Copies of this chain bind each other. A is one copy, B any other.
Amino acid sequence: MNDAVEGDGPHKGSASLSSSQQDYLKQIFLLNDTARGATTQLLAERIGVRPASVTGMLKRLAEEGLVERAPYRAVHLTETGRRIAVEIVRHHRLLEAFLSQTLGYRWDEVHEEAEALEHVISERFEQKVAELLADPDRDPHGDPIPTRELALEEDQHLRTLALLPKGSRGTIRRVTLQDQDALNLVERLDLLPGRTIEVAGTHPDGISLLAAGSRFLVPALLAAHLLVDVAPHPSSAPPKKREGAGRPVAHEQ
C-alpha cells in the first residue's frame, strides 16, 4: 500500500482514493471549465509533476472509471469522477472559510493549508464545519462552495476585470488566484471581494482603476483573475451573460 488516504472513510465516492488521485480529479474539474480544458501539460503544472506522470495517472484513473480520455486530447471526468472532484472542491473551500473565520487565518494563508487538509478530513468534519459556519456559500476568495448535495452555483454574471470597457463600474466578487505573491499584491491594492471599482481606462498592459478615490493600474495578469459584478448603471445590460467563452459548464448534477 501506498498512501491511499481514507480520511473519507466509508462515504460517498471518494473512499479509498489516494491524495494524489483526488488532486488530479480536482484539477481536471477546475480546468475543464477553462478555455484549453484539462490538458496533460496544464495538469502537470497545476499538480507539480512532469507530463509523463500525468499520462500515467490518467490511465489509472481511466481504468477506474473516473475519467474518459482519448490519447492526445484533453481529459474529461465521468459522472463518478466529477462527484468526487466536487466533493474535494467543497472540502477545500469550506476549509478556507473555516480557517479564515474560525481560526483567524489571513486571507492569503488559507489556500495552502486547505490544500493539505482537503484530502484528509472526514465527512463528519465537513458537516461540523458547515454547521459551525452556517453553510457558507463563498470562501474567502469569493469562490462558490458546492452545497452538501454537490451542486455548484456558477457565477454567470461575473465578468473578468480585464475585459471590462472603460467606464464600467462594479464590485469585485472573486479573486481566482492562488499564487502567494499575487495575493499579496491584490491585498495591497485593496482589491478584495466586496470592493467597488470603476474602470478609468484600459491599456495594453493592464487596467486603470478608480477605487476608493484613488486611481491606479492593475496589471493585466491580475485583472484577468478579478471577477467583477458589473453594475447595470452606465451603459451595460442587465446580468444575462452566459456563454462568453465556452461550453456550458459540466455540472448537471
Contact = CB atoms under 8 A, between A and B. Distances in A.
Interface of A: 2-3, 5-7, 18-20, 99, 102-105, 109, 112-113, 116-117, 120-122, 124-125, 128-129, 132
Contacts of A121: 113, 116-117
Number of copies: 2
Contact of A122 (B6, B18, B116): B116
Contacts of A124: 105, 109, 113
A57 to B, nearest CB: 13
B117 A120 contact: yes
A105 to B, nearest CB: 7
A129 B99 CA distance: 10
Contacts of A128: 103-105
Contacts of A116: 5-7, 120-122
Contacts of A122: 112-113, 116
Nearest to A9: B112
A19 B18 CA distance: 13
A83 to B, nearest CB: 21
A163 B8 CA distance: 40
B132 A103 contact: yes
A69 to B, nearest CB: 24
14 contacts: A2-B2, A3-B20, A102-B132, A103-B129, A103-B132, A105-B124, A105-B128, A113-B121, A113-B124, A116-B121, A116-B122, A117-B117, A117-B120, A120-B120
